[in-house]
Amino acid sequence: MSAIFRQLDQATLSSFMTRVHSKKDWDSRQGKPRIRPGTAMDISCTVQSMFEARVEMSPHHPAVSPLFRDISYRKLNIRANRLAHYLRRKGVGPGNFVALFMEQELGTVIAMLAILKAGGAILPLDPVAFADRWSRAIQEAGCRLWVINEARARHLVGDRPKLVITDGKDREAIASESDRNPAIIKGNDELSYCPDPHGDKHGAGVLSEWEFIRQIITMNKATERDRCLPFPTLDTGLMGQRYLGYLLAGATLILPRLCISDEPSTLLWACVVQGVTLLQLPTAYWHILVDELETLDFSWPRFLGTVVLEGEPPLRNRLDIWHERVPTSIQLVHTR
Overall pTM surpassing 0.85 (yes/no): no
Task: Read off the amino acid at residue 239.
Answer: M
254 part of a folded domain: no
300/302 Cα distance (integer angstroms): 6
61 part of a folded domain: yes
Q: Which of 225, 248, 271 is the last residue of a domain?
A: 248
Based on the domain organization, do 216 and 287 belong to the same domain?
no
Q: Which of 248, 281, 310 is the last residue of a domain?
A: 248
Structural domain of residue 168, as residue ranges? 2-248
Based on the domain organization, do 186 and 321 belong to the same domain?
no
The tens place of each residue's pLDDT in the chain, 336 residues long, gives 333 333 323 443 444 343 333 333 333 334 433 333 333 334 456 888 889 999 999 999 999 998 778 999 999 999 999 999 999 999 998 878 898 876 778 999 999 999 999 988 888 887 666 566 667 777 777 787 889 888 878 777 655 668 898 988 999 999 999 999 998 775 545 667 676 554 444 444 566 666 777 777 766 788 899 999 998 876 777 788 889 999 999 999 998 777 767 888 888 888 999 999 999 999 999 999 999 887 877 778 889 999 999 889 999 999 999 999 999 999 999 986
Based on the domain organization, do 238 and 322 belong to the same domain?
no
255 part of a folded domain: no
Based on the domain organization, do 67 and 187 belong to the same domain?
yes
Number of domains in the chain: 2
27/223 Cα distance (integer angstroms): 25
- Continuous H helices in the chain: 10-20, 47-57, 73-89, 106-117, 131-141, 150-153, 171-175, 209-219, 236-248, 264-274, 283-291, 316-325
Based on the domain organization, do 270 and 197 belong to the same domain?
no
90/87 Cα distance (integer angstroms): 5
Based on the domain organization, do 273 and 241 belong to the same domain?
no
Based on the domain organization, do 88 and 153 belong to the same domain?
yes
71/252 Cα distance (integer angstroms): 9
pLDDT digits (tens, 9 = 90+) for 148-190: 888 878 777 655 668 898 988 999 999 999 999 998 775 545 6
pLDDT digits (tens, 9 = 90+) for 37-83: 333 334 456 888 889 999 999 999 999 998 778 999 999 999 999 99
Q: DSSP labels for 103-143?
A: -SSHHHHHHHHHHHHTT-EEEEE-TTS-HHHHHHHHHHHT-
Based on the domain organization, do 19 and 46 belong to the same domain?
yes
The Cβ of residue 220 has, within 10 Å, a number of other Cβ atoms equal to: 27
Cβ(110)–Cβ(85) below 8 Å = no
272/266 Cα distance (integer angstroms): 10
Q: Which of 226, 248, 270 is the last residue of a domain?
A: 248
Q: Which of 65, 83, 64, 76 is nearest to 166 (CA)?
A: 83
Looking at residue 288, which CATH number applies to its domain? 3.40.50.980
Based on the domain organization, do 228 and 308 belong to the same domain?
no
Beta bridge partners of 207: 193
Based on the domain organization, do 171 and 206 belong to the same domain?
yes
